[in-house]
A and B are shown apart, each in its own frame.
Chain A
């Protein structure tokens, strides 16, 4: 009887600890959001979204940074998603379970934890200098793709691994070839997990400043990129620049920029969730 009461007490305590931790995390997030929102909301208007940077805070806007970030997201997604998913498919479905495959997987895991400035150095050496892409969107998005790739590979591998064996066996039983099994059944089934990884990876790359500054992303641009070879600036770079100014009004602009970045990420995530729901064939 006592034993039972203790177990019930343990049970309830655990639930309350979990609730407490969740509440603490969420309140930290909300305090952050509240601070940024309070400082930035007054600066956030149509003029702000539709103007180039200026030395007058009232006239300054994030047009070039916003569109630079949109270009970056698009190009980074184009490079990193196919490469990342293909790598995961190979490692999970085709590669022999040998020691070198394990070694590669461990290395990819390590890459995911590398400080982002190192990717900036790599991008500077390979894309900017060696390939001569200079400070273009090519360099920026390729560098961010390097940053996103490990996360996409690891998440996709996890998703592929979680596909029930019955699905593969069922397909094989009906005489499907290996690629038919992979593309027709395993990949669609793993899609929600893959999308989650992709969202995480792209969101992280969009918030990165250090690697972009390293490869020479600009701080002042008063034109929009028209081709991938054009120079660019991005939201985090512009935010960083404003936050470092001495005048308090620029700090308000930085906060407004953060709100725009958050809205952009939210849109990105929402559309990914939408696509995921649309494409999902195997509902659990």
Chain B
């Protein structure tokens, strides 16, 4: 028995030493769980990719799922995920769930998206659309059946409408700013959760009109044109990197967010991931087709996050 112990003990010790040594070389391990919006996914994916290339973080497992903003908040609200990607703000009902489960969170804007109202490339009669005209087209029980119904000088041809499915954050946002209430919309348009289907629809018909995220417009500029949007007495504005960034493209510029569970943020791997996210979101969001926020906003978020996570750590 003793002899057996004598033989096995040094081995055990060596294993322990080896383990602690490797822990020193790679101080950070663990998992960061992200879920939520498919709109925000490309940015989070890019951040996770770069984060994994960093030497000191490459043992951290970052996983990103896509359940949609609402589906993601269901899991976030019960503490199943650390971070939720969101293409809209958290809703009252979702706040209540989080509160009931004692989830404290922080909202961090990470980029802008400009909802683009798109037309067929060959459409040469639309010079711009006013917000009121958009409402006339998209409101429930809309009387707009032909282009002529929008402006009398436009062709007397049936208008074909394309838009995202009712579960998407894009639909929520568009209906809110155009029709005054989230989810209020006419129902007789072609819906798809897949924006590429909408692109094909609008590109395939001269009398089509649709709306979706800026990235899908930019990638398909050879097949589509965006309608300049006129708000009130201002000049019509086209969605571009600059007009979305400065907020001139109103009211269809929207911020997109990540929500962080502050209890998870106590864990060093989550804290480091968020810091990395905010430091690199400007560059990476541009690379995947979104519009970065002004630098000061990232800085402000970073300070707010650092201060809060310190506070939590001290408790």
Contact = CB atoms under 8 A, between A and B. Distances in A.
Nearest to A214: B67
Contacts of A243: 194, 196
A213 B107 CA distance: 25
B38 interface: yes
Main secondary structure of the interface of A (DSSP, over half): loop
Interface stretch (B15-23, B57-65, B131-139, B248-256): B57-65
Interface residues of B, number: 33
Nearest to B53: A222
Contact of A217 (B49, B65, B216, B219): B65
Interface residues of A, number: 24
Nearest to B52: A222
Contacts of A216: 35, 65, 67, 75
Nearest to B59: A223
Given A55-B42, A243-B196, 5 more contacts: A54-B49, A213-B66, A218-B65, A223-B61, A246-B216
Interface of A: 52-55, 134-135, 213, 216-223, 231, 241, 243-248, 251
B219 A248 contact: yes
Contacts of B149: none
B45 A220 contact: yes
Contacts of A231: 63
A241 B284 CA distance: 19
A220 B196 contact: no
Nearest to A221: B63
Nearest to A217: B65
Interface string B253-294: 000000000000000000000000000000010011100000
A143 to B, nearest CB: 15
B273 to A, nearest CB: 13
B65 A135 contact: yes
A218 to B, nearest CB: 5
A246 B218 contact: yes
Contacts of A135: 63, 65
